[in-house]
Structure 1
Amino acid sequence: MGLGEKISVYLVQQGIWDMPLESMPLAAAYLKATALADDRIRDAFDIKIINYRGGTTLTKMANEIFEDGPPDILACSVTGWNFRTFGSLVETFKQLNPDGWAVFGGTHVTNQATRTFGMFPQVDVIVNGEGELVFRDLLARYLDRGSVHALGDIQGISYRDGGDTIATTEPRDRIQNLDIIPSPALSGALELTRPDGSFRYDVALMETNRGCPYKCAFCYWGGAVGQRVRAFSRQRLREELELYASLKVHTICLCDANFGLLPIDEEFVDDVIEIRNRTGYPKALESSWAKNKSKVFYSIVRKMKDAGLRSSFTLALQTLNPEALALMNRKNMKVNQWEDLVNWLNAEELECYAELIWGAPGETVESFLDGYDRLSHYVSRIAVYPILLLPNTDYSEKKDQYGIVSVRGDHDDFEYVLAHNTMTMADNQRMQRFLFWSRVLADAAVFRHTFTGLRTLGGIRQSQVLRNMDEWILRTDDEAAAPLREAVTIGVEAPGSAIDYLYREPEAKRLLRRWWSESIRPLLPAEYTRVLDDIFEYDLLTQPVYRQDSNELPDGCTLIRIGEDDHAVRSGVTFAHDVLSILSRLRAGKEPDLRPLEVSFDLYYRLGVEQFTTTTNSEEIVHFMGCTKSDFFSSIKLADEPIDGSYSTLLRDSNCG
């Protein structure tokens, strides 16, 4: 470092998905914002965030990061998917700058000093727990020309105390007043826009609180499990919302473990709705909702419905098997009393989806599928994930007790469970195909309406539909099935290509119609066949609309301009039955009128889904589904324009293609 030059710090973060838009590097931005709030550090350091998409190779990273020479400090936000990449990156860094400091932080390396230092001896410091204040203290020590081997008075770290000896300091108390962490968005620490002024990330990430009161056996949420929840102030969060609204951010995604648990969460939603009513943004709010639903949750949901603010309300059940629940430390959680909640959401006609984990200790194939089908009676959108062993979790610490056999991932550092005391390897291999189709057809909502009709009128369980599709794809001679056969061989880790194919390609729609005709229709009761035909066709027509490479829309769709955004409309869609009324009553558990009644209506679509399908981002995909005029305009809610159902002028004067 020359005279007058600032000390260079690179904060490197990498998202899991390789997608067209960047994922917001919130963790790195917290570190930068907190460090720059210190006058000495701000004057002495040049801190740069380097944010990579999931598909970026190590070679590309190294060439870009070290093109102009190595930084003085390289700090990496480490997760299971980038652990090996960043370990190798640090090795290159030390070749270029042997005296530079290499710092690792993140839940994957917290309390894992022996393994991390053993695999990557070039790493100097590991931050255990919340990193903002610890990282600030490390920069201050560097500024004072302290030794990287003499950091014993800095709480919350592991480091080498000279030679090969690993020293771990006392844990640092968690930050009680979260507002001492400057907002990355409001402070300017986080770059928010592209050169053209548009918002640069897929969604805006926000934390309203930190901590989780539960201690589930598979989870280590932010290192703050089994702890009191601490919240950011309402004023700070409101200022962030105002900023994101000014940037026309469509979706706010909360990084909270249990949103809807605290009364202040309702205040946050009040502010979201007020800002949206005034500015038109944000249009959707996504979160990991409170496991135990309280009066606050029900009040929040009702307010969001009345305001037309969209969300996917999650049932994070993980399993319905009592033995597996007990081993998960979730046996007595109110989340298990979920039927009444789902009935209420269905009666309110609100979108709901559920999460399950396959392969938990205590689970068998039979118990899992029984639970899956029981759940699908209420919720068709079910995301099923394979069990992983994460560092610092109960499952990981009791691996021998549960007889767990695992393997490290090919491209990540997660431990994938292959077998345990109640699951053989053959069981697990058989279920991987089921998980794949569940992620594709159920979680990504390819058949969100069809499942309901088949279950209630056709007597066909959701698990039967998934297995039927798998078997038919294997045996059909249709060339359009080849991409799906190839995708399923990769497995549950990569369903994005199949989702993208089914939504994007006209040939995929033809393939699905052939599957329906050949493999499902013969199983249906004759008196319900034509009604179910209409429901299936409605599913296909409400799937997201893609713009092709030439920017053209599919046949039957017209481009319209609403406000500053392009949308698509499919006019005059006609059915022989009143599918909207039938589906509404079926979901509410009521008897529908199944007599033929020709109905015709228009379907409206938000454009741009191609940014999310390959990443399996089902929370965002559902916001691109076709919907009726009234539902569509309620959801987009233009600023300063009342939702009164009268949009004839707007549509007539729009730019139609």
Structure 2
Amino acid sequence: MPPIQKLTVQLVQQGVWDMPLESMPLASGYLKAMILDDSSLADRVSVSIANFRGKVTHGEMARELLAKELPDVLAFSVLGWNVRAFGALAATYKQLRPDGWVVFGGTHVSNQADRVFREYPDVDVVVNGEGEITFRELVRARADGRSRTGLADIEGISYRSEEGTTTTTADRPRIDDLDLIPSPFLTGAIELLDEEGKFRYDVALIETNRGCPYKCAFCYWGGAVGQRVRAFSRERLRAEMELFAGLGVHTLVACDANFGMLPIDQEFVDDLIDIRERFGYPRAFETSWAKNKSKVFFEIVRRMKEAGLRSSFTLALQTLSTDALDTMNRRNMKVNAWRDLVEWLGKEGLDCYAELIWGAPGETVQSFLDGYDELAEHVSRIAVYPIMLLPNTDYSENKELHGIVSLRGDHDDFEYVLAHRTMSFHDNARMQRFLFWARVMAENAVLRHCWLPLRVLAGWRQSRVLDSLADWADTTSCPQAAPLREAAARAHGGGAPAYANAIGYLFTDPAGREALRTWWAEAVSPALPEAHRPFLDEVFRYDLLTQPVCPANGTGRPPGGDTDFPDPQELPGGDLYVRRNVPLDYDVPTLLAAMRAGGHVHPKPGPVELDVFYRTGALNAVLSTNHEEIMHFMGEEQPAARRTVAAVATG
């Protein structure tokens, strides 16, 4: 095959959620930057990125990718939610361009070539491990006119031999000096602005390091589990942050496995704070925090608090069951000593949430619910996920050892665990219902204030509240509950859209809020102690009051005829919605703060008026069910704007 004069490369990504804003195509940006930085390729190769939202159909993607000049190389960043779509697109592409190359890369297909080639016969090459250098060599081979069956000298790939069998080359060593990968932001490889000159993505993604020293049985983080952590340089990261700050990016997300573990992480935060002080942005920083909290972590948290830089601090516990911790290979991790950390974060007034996984071998229904409620006494916002078997993980490779029975998802390619030696099919079905309501109501903070007073004053554990809502939704004739009941029924077996539909309904549709009011009035309030019922009813009203404001149909105004909301106002904190002079029968914020501090509270009526402020632009976070981002849009009472009615009346 003769060399190609001008090679065309099309990179393809697709996010899992359907959102008004795109998810940043970081993986494709790395690949594009790597190719264009190579002097032997830059003049011979044209590279473009197609970045699709979650609900885009196969046909819509095919029209964008294939209705113009067909690329010489079509490369997909593959994950469990898009592999089927990308396999279909590969088949269509090969009908139109039989001599073209289809390349699959990503954690879902890495080291899985036999299955990939069997199920998607139009794929030519699978990239195993880190892809930047490997993909550059593949593009060079294609530009030089080499055959796709003669790639034995390229490390880190699997391809079809001339006989049709799978050939896998030697593993490629991981990249020690990450700065060898050009920045996709500083080089312009990723387009950052939309047609109106605004930052086009929901958040800015950045990597400060790669690698994870742990070997959790359920995880394959970037294909780098059990690996030494390697970092990008401080100078490069600072330049990237300054670029984002200049574009007014609100939230920066570090795609690291254990941020806050290394001294260089403290340097990163120092730079971030300095940049925020100079530019006013970013205003929030999210990441996957280090599992074992060190002095570095506590110093980072202290500095972020002093600077007013917001974040959600994660307790990646996954389970409180000692038997399940054993099978997870997490028994001896310091993260399990979590209570002191939660207490410290609470005293500092910092937002903290925890992660749990339901259905790990060794877990039972009782152990999970006991752990959930124990954790909820300290952290009300708990992210709960069903166990899935990801490729290349210990659980996936040892199914028989644990007696695991699994099923591929309806809308994705993940393996969902249905049963094992300590979990029956019946157990799992029961808990899938619980997980739906836990994820919707607690993880995504549809309710966030009422959990504590319900437990302290009424003796309702968090799981009881969630079961109450589930039972009511299953049996009520209330028409506003029907969308929730339907979403819960669709949530089993890979029902990510069902969760998004329920959360969107409760946050954006007045009928969703009316469903919650009806549930509370019919199933909760009558069962509360009479002495505390008025206060608990008011806390519930305060919960609904402080939910994010999501305008209807992009009008800029809230849904449901909430005429007491003005248009967004330009205030020192940015464009905000303001609800002024809101009357409450109890001083709910003060009483809740006293309860969180461990005080013995006996609520007495005391009317107050509040001004509540809401950041605009919540819809994207809500529709993506990004619970860390949702928290940045919650209504906040400003202490300076607060007035006690009785005090004003008496002078």
Under TM normalisation by the shorter chain, which class is it?
over 0.9
Q: CA deviation at 1:455?
A: 1.2
Q: CA deviation at 1:155?
A: 0.8
CA contact (8 A) 2:250 2:283 kept: yes
Matched, 1:483 2:488: no
- Name 2:621's counterpart in structure 1: 612
Deviations 1:78-117 (A, max 9, x none): 1111111111111111111111111111111111111111
- Name 1:569's counterpart in structure 2: 578
Deviations 1:31-60 (A, max 9, x none): 110111111110100011111111111111
- Cα separation, partners in 2 of 1:223 and 1:402, compared to 1, 3 Å: same
Deviations 1:230-284 (A, max 9, x none): 1111110111111101111111111000011111111111111111111111111
Taking the TM superposition and a 5 Å limit, the aligned residue runs for 1:19-98 are 19-98=19-98
CA contact (8 A) 1:349 1:584 kept: no
Quote the Cα distance in structure 2 between the aligned partners of 1:229 and 1:457.
Answer: 47
- Name 1:639's counterpart in structure 2: none
Q: CA deviation at 1:121?
A: 1.8
Quote the Cα distance in structure 1 between the aligned partners of 2:180 and 2:168.
Answer: 26
Q: CA deviation at 1:514?
A: 2.4
Q: CA deviation at 1:5?
A: 5.5
Q: SS of the residue aligned with 2:400?
A: coil
Matched, 1:537 2:545: no
Q: CA deviation at 1:630?
A: 5.1
- Name 2:305's counterpart in structure 1: 305
Quote the Cα distance in structure 2 between the aligned partners of 1:482 and 1:583.
Answer: 32
Q: Which runs of 5+ in 1 are unaligned?
A: 634-657
- Cα separation, partners in 2 of 1:388 and 1:265, compared to 1, 3 Å: same
CA contact (8 A) 2:105 2:131 kept: yes
- Name 1:501's counterpart in structure 2: 505
Taking the TM superposition and a 5 Å limit, the aligned residue runs for 1:390-401 are 390-401=390-401
- Name 1:648's counterpart in structure 2: none
- Name 1:654's counterpart in structure 2: none
- Name 2:566's counterpart in structure 1: 558
Q: CA deviation at 1:2?
A: 12
Q: SS of the residue aligned with 2:249?
A: coil
- Name 1:600's counterpart in structure 2: 609
* Amino acid in the other structure paired with 2:276: R
CA contact (8 A) 1:581 1:592 kept: no
CA contact (8 A) 1:582 1:594 kept: yes
CA contact (8 A) 1:252 1:282 kept: yes
* Amino acid in the other structure paired with 1:108: H
Taking the TM superposition and a 5 Å limit, the aligned residue runs for 1:260-409 are 260-409=260-409
Taking the TM superposition and a 5 Å limit, the aligned residue runs for 1:41-190 are 41-190=41-190
Q: SS of the residue aligned with 1:287?
A: strand
Deviations 1:197-221 (A, max 9, x none): 1001111000000000101000000
- Name 1:232's counterpart in structure 2: 232
TM-score calculated relative to the size of structure 2: 0.95
Q: CA deviation at 1:615?
A: 2.1
* Amino acid in the other structure paired with 1:246: G
Quote the Cα distance in structure 1 between the aligned partners of 2:634 and 2:311.
Answer: 13
Deviations 1:268-312 (A, max 9, x none): 111111111111111111111111111111111111112111111
Q: CA deviation at 1:631?
A: 9.4
Quote the Cα distance in structure 1 between the aligned partners of 2:87 and 2:510.
Answer: 43
* Amino acid in the other structure paired with 2:369: L
Moved more, 53-62 or 198-207: 53-62
Deviations 1:451-492 (A, max 9, x none): 111112211000000000011122222211111111111125
Q: SS of the residue aligned with 2:167?
A: strand
- Name 1:653's counterpart in structure 2: none
Moved more, 212-221 or 344-353: 344-353
Q: CA deviation at 1:4?
A: 9.2
* Amino acid in the other structure paired with 1:507: A
Q: Which runs of 5+ in 2 are unaligned?
A: 643-651
- Name 2:600's counterpart in structure 1: 591
- Name 1:582's counterpart in structure 2: 591
Taking the TM superposition and a 5 Å limit, the aligned residue runs for 1:379-458 are 379-458=379-458
CA contact (8 A) 1:343 1:588 kept: no
Deviations 1:388-431 (A, max 9, x none): 00000000011011111111111211111111111111111111
Q: SS of the residue aligned with 2:108?
A: coil
- Cα separation, partners in 2 of 1:484 and 1:631, compared to 1, 3 Å: farther
Q: SS of the residue aligned with 1:102?
A: strand
Deviations 1:153-181 (A, max 9, x none): 11111112212221111111100110110
Quote the Cα distance in structure 2 between the aligned partners of 1:94 and 1:351.
Answer: 50
* Amino acid in the other structure paired with 2:618: V
- Cα separation, partners in 2 of 1:178 and 1:630, compared to 1, 3 Å: farther
Q: CA deviation at 1:593?
A: 5.3
Quote the Cα distance in structure 2 between the aligned partners of 1:252 and 1:258.
Answer: 16
Quote the Cα distance in structure 2 between the aligned partners of 1:558 and 1:65.
Answer: 43
Q: SS of the residue aligned with 1:40?
A: coil
Quote the Cα distance in structure 1 between the aligned partners of 2:563 and 2:328.
Answer: 50
- Name 1:547's counterpart in structure 2: 551
Moved more, 457-466 or 499-508: 499-508
Q: SS of the residue aligned with 1:417?
A: strand
Quote the Cα distance in structure 1 between the aligned partners of 2:150 and 2:87.
Answer: 22
Quote the Cα distance in structure 1 between the aligned partners of 2:359 and 2:147.
Answer: 46
CA contact (8 A) 2:206 2:254 kept: yes
Quote the Cα distance in structure 1 between the aligned partners of 2:51 and 2:557.
Answer: 32
Quote the Cα distance in structure 2 between the aligned partners of 1:592 and 1:229.
Answer: 47
Moved more, 608-617 or 95-104: 608-617
Quote the Cα distance in structure 2 between the aligned partners of 1:11 and 1:250.
Answer: 27
Quote the Cα distance in structure 2 between the aligned partners of 1:511 and 1:139.
Answer: 55
- Name 1:244's counterpart in structure 2: 244
Query: Number of matched residues?
Result: 633
Moved more, 311-320 or 472-481: 472-481
- Cα separation, partners in 2 of 1:344 and 1:613, compared to 1, 3 Å: same
Q: 4+ runs of 1 displaced by more than 4 Å?
A: 1-5, 630-633
- Name 2:646's counterpart in structure 1: none
* Amino acid in the other structure paired with 2:614: Y
Quote the Cα distance in structure 2 between the aligned partners of 1:329 and 1:317.
Answer: 12
TM-score calculated relative to the size of structure 1: 0.94
Q: Give the counterpart of 1:515 among 512, 519, 544.
A: 519
* Amino acid in the other structure paired with 1:571: R
Taking the TM superposition and a 5 Å limit, the aligned residue runs for 1:454-473 are 454-473=454-473
- Name 1:641's counterpart in structure 2: none
Q: CA deviation at 1:632?
A: 11
Q: SS of the residue aligned with 1:68?
A: coil
Quote the Cα distance in structure 1 between the aligned partners of 2:157 and 2:577.
Answer: 53
Deviations 1:588-612 (A, max 9, x none): 3233352333222210001121222
Deviations 1:553-585 (A, max 9, x none): 323222312269531111112223222122122
CA contact (8 A) 2:3 2:144 kept: no
Q: SS of the residue aligned with 1:591?
A: coil
Instruction: Give RMSD over aligned pairs.
Output: 1.8
- Name 2:16's counterpart in structure 1: 16
Moved more, 590-599 or 360-369: 590-599
Quote the Cα distance in structure 2 between the aligned partners of 1:596 and 1:416.
Answer: 49
Deviations 1:509-546 (A, max 9, x none): 33322222221122222222222122111111101112
CA contact (8 A) 1:359 1:428 kept: yes
* Amino acid in the other structure paired with 1:80: G
Quote the Cα distance in structure 2 between the aligned partners of 1:141 and 1:3.
Answer: 9
Quote the Cα distance in structure 2 between the aligned partners of 1:48 and 1:564.
Answer: 37
Moved more, 381-390 or 614-623: 614-623
